[in-house]
Amino acid sequence: MTTFTGCIDGEDTSSTDEILDPVSNLDEEELSQRFANLTASYENLAADLSTLAANYETALTKNIELQNDIKDLEVEIAVTNTHNEVMNSTIADQEQELSNLRDELETSNSHLDMAHDSFENLNSSFNSLEDDFNAYKFDLESLQSEYSMLDNNFSMLEIEYDNLSTQYNELFVEFDDLSTEYDDMMAEFEEWKTYQSITNWNFDGDCPNEYVMSYSSGIDNGDNNGDAGNHVLEDGEIDHSASVCKPGMLAITNYTSGYINDITEFNGKFYYRFEGSADFGEELWTSDYYGNAEMLKDINTGEADSYPWFMGQTEDLLFFRATTSINGYELWVTDGTESGTNMVKDIDPGTNSGFYGYYGFHYFNDKFYFGANNGTTGEELWATDGTENGTYLVKEIRGEDSNGNNYGSSPNSFTTIGDTMYFIANDGEHGSEPWMTDGTANGTRMLKDIREEDSNGNNYGSTYCYYHCFFEFGDKLWFNADDGTHGRELWYTDGTEAGTLMFSDIRDGSSGSNPNIYFNTEDYFYFVAHDGDSYRLFMTDGKQMIMDLDVHSSNIYISGTPVMYDGEFYMSLRTQPTGYELWKSDGTPEGTVMVHEFWSGTTSGDPQNLMVVNNNLLFMIAYPGGGNTYYHNLFAYAVEDYEI
């Protein structure tokens, strides 16, 4: 126990342990608490002391750093003092240099004043020269304008000179020709004075039709081994001859059995299918315009038929379809000679047929396009340049179906507008629809799915047509189609899906009018369609007007393709009273009339394969009529006298 003694306020105090000991009366717990408090205070003081010691160390370190900085500053001050001494010396030098520069500036100002005076003098001289230059420039422009006028006048004179030179040369040539003609006429006149000029009239002419008259003329001068002066115009003495032929209808051939079929004109001759004797079948024959005929080639040798059917032609080649027992029906070509008549390619090798050619053979981009079957793909789009290597499959539009069948897309009805060819095909998914191509596989696509899948999942397609399916008029392509609602009606396209639309619902309901377009004038095109009562011949401007030509009250049908002849369309047209006969139309109701009736009554004369030759004659094949004789002959028709 500790005892404390001391004085308070100067008083002398003392106590015993019980009085002076502040803890003498405390119990053990209170003592422990006080001891703990003192211990904590001690620890806090110790921590504070440690912090003070650390701060002292830091302050001591900082003091040392400051002393070092002071030493560095003292060194810098010494260096600066030395530098100032050097700078003071430099400033004195610069002040002297500045004084020198002021002197030089005064001298320069004096020189500048002198230069300014010189500039003023030069500027005055320049202004004077500029005035002189402008005057010269004005004179030059005046001279240039005058030169341009003179140059234009010279060019005009030069052109006039060239024209006069050309005219002079032409007149000189004409003068030479006239001089030569005069000399010839004088020679003929001198000869005529010696020998008689003879003209023969009305001898038998060489007309495909009846002749009106024929004549030949020349001089009885003994030309080409003739006898001069014998008053007879011999063959070698004829200088000019002609036949004037009669208009109307006349048979060129006079067969009493057999058929002339599928005739076409190529390089001045007719080509057709004909069975000329019992020794041969129906083969390829040729004839001139007067009926002088011969078989060109026995393609399917012996009594068998080759059934040639003409497809198209170029300037030098005629393409046709024919069959043989070795190759079946394939594509053939002829140059008009027997040796130049050959098969182009055996598209379906062996006896199977690769090409029938029923539904189109169209010239486009220097090739013919058509449908053919190589025995693997079915009938698909092919092309040929007339050679075996140049005959190839363009695109397999309809591939193999889920059952492994290759039916083919059956492309047909080819028509070209601009750089695009249109046709009908069935891809196996959309049915028969209009397609378009640029002649390549990648450029071949469906134009529009006009008739979409019905509620039963069927895709019948919109367009089933094989003849007169597409027709160009007014920058649009016209055709018939069935959208599944209106029946088969008249449609058109501008070559886009959005621009492919129905033109008119001619026949109400779902039956459709089944229109077929045949010919056009500049402002209208003409088609046959059913109006709900009968098939009629209509005309339209392709905008909104549709008019019935009212040819006959009953059904009207047109067979084949009409041709333009002498400003009118000629065609094989059928009415109920006459059957198919030769008609013509100028595009008006009153100008649509029958030209010739081969068979009287309701039996058809059935003119076919109409063609115009040399702008003079309309040729065709037809039944000549009479009893039960059924055979074809070749006919010629002319509207007026003509000379050959």
Co-location of 40 and 125 in the same domain: yes
Q: For residue 209, what pLDDT band results from cuts at 50, 70 and 90?
A: low
Co-location of 139 and 52 in the same domain: yes
Domain that holds residue 225: 197-245
**Quick check: is 214 in a domain?**
yes
Q: Among the listed ranges 30-44, 489-503, 556-570, which one has the minimum average pLDDT value?
A: 30-44
Q: For residue 5, what pLDDT band results from cuts at 50, 70 and 90?
A: very low
Reported as half-sphere exposure (CB side, CA atoms, 13 A), residue 532 has a value of 7
Reported as half-sphere exposure (CB side, CA atoms, 13 A), residue 376 has a value of 6
Is 559 in contact with 580 (CB distance < 8 Å)? Answer: yes
Q: Name the helix (H) or strand (E) containing 4.
A: none
Is 604 in contact with 621 (CB distance < 8 Å)? Answer: no
**Quick check: is 373 in a domain?**
no
pTM over 0.75: no
Of 44-48, 201-205, 330-334, 607-611, which has the strongest mean pLDDT?
330-334
Co-location of 201 and 146 in the same domain: no
**Alpha carbon distance 534, 641 (integer Å):** 40
Co-location of 146 and 207 in the same domain: no
Q: Which pLDDT belongs to residue 153? A: 84
Collapsing DSSP to helix, strand or coil, 406 comes out as coil
Q: For residue 189, what pLDDT band results from cuts at 50, 70 and 90?
A: low
Q: Which pLDDT belongs to residue 43? A: 76
Number of domains in the chain: 2
Q: Which pLDDT belongs to residue 6? A: 43
**Quick check: is 105 in a domain?**
yes
Co-location of 34 and 147 in the same domain: yes
Give the whole-number percent of the chain exceeding pLDDT 90: 47
pLDDT in tens, 351-409: 999 999 988 999 999 999 999 999 999 999 999 999 999 999 999 999 999 899 999 99
pLDDT in tens, 630-643: 678 888 888 887 77
Q: For residue 586, what pLDDT band results from cuts at 50, 70 and 90?
A: very high
Q: What is the mean pLDDT of residues 527-548?
A: 93
pLDDT in tens, 510-526: 999 999 999 999 999 99
Co-location of 32 and 130 in the same domain: yes
pLDDT in tens, 249-265: 888 887 777 778 899 99
Mean pLDDT, the chain, rounded, equals 85
Q: Among the listed ranges 20-24, 141-145, 310-314, 471-475, which one has the minimum average pLDDT value?
A: 20-24
Co-location of 141 and 215 in the same domain: no
Last residue of a domain, one of 86, 117, 151: 151
Q: Which pLDDT belongs to residue 245? A: 78
**Quick check: is 208 in a domain?**
yes
Beta strands in 403-550 (DSSP E): 412-417, 420-426, 432-437, 445-446, 471-473, 476-482, 488-493, 500-504, 516-520, 525-530, 535-540, 546-548
**Quick check: is 370 in a domain?**
no
**Alpha carbon distance 127, 441 (integer Å):** 80
**Alpha carbon distance 18, 15 (integer Å):** 8
Co-location of 128 and 203 in the same domain: no
Q: Which pLDDT belongs to residue 203? A: 52
Last residue of a domain, one of 126, 151, 176: 151
Q: Which pLDDT belongs to residue 419? A: 95
Q: Which pLDDT belongs to residue 359? A: 85
Co-location of 130 and 201 in the same domain: no
Q: Which pLDDT belongs to residue 19? A: 43
**Quick check: is 138 in a domain?**
yes
Residues with Cβ within 8 Å of residue 642, at least 6 apart in sequence? 244, 245, 247, 616, 617
Co-location of 201 and 147 in the same domain: no
Two tokens, residue 145? 């304008």
**Alpha carbon distance 574, 558 (integer Å):** 6
Co-location of 125 and 59 in the same domain: yes
**Quick check: is 534 in a domain?**
no
Q: Which pLDDT belongs to residue 208? A: 65
Q: Among the listed ranges 175-189, 390-404, 515-529, 547-561, which one has the minimum average pLDDT value?
A: 175-189
Q: Which pLDDT belongs to residue 198? A: 57
Q: What is the DSSP string of 73-135?
A: HHHHHHHHHHHHHHHHHHHHHHHHHHHHHHHHHHHHHHHHHHHHHHHHHHHHHHHHHHHHHHH
Q: Which pLDDT belongs to residue 212? A: 62
Amino acid at site 364: F
Q: What is the mean pLDDT of residues 47-63?
A: 77
Last residue of a domain, one of 186, 212, 245: 245
**Quick check: is 225 in a domain?**
yes
Of 69-78, 96-105, 167-176, 433-442, which has the strongest mean pLDDT?
433-442
Co-location of 32 and 146 in the same domain: yes
Q: What is the DSSP string of 270-288?
A: EEEEE--STTS-SEEEEE-
Q: Which residues of 455-485 are buried (b: 16+ CB within 10 A; e: fewer)?
A: eeeebebbbbbeebbbbbbeebbbbbbbbbe
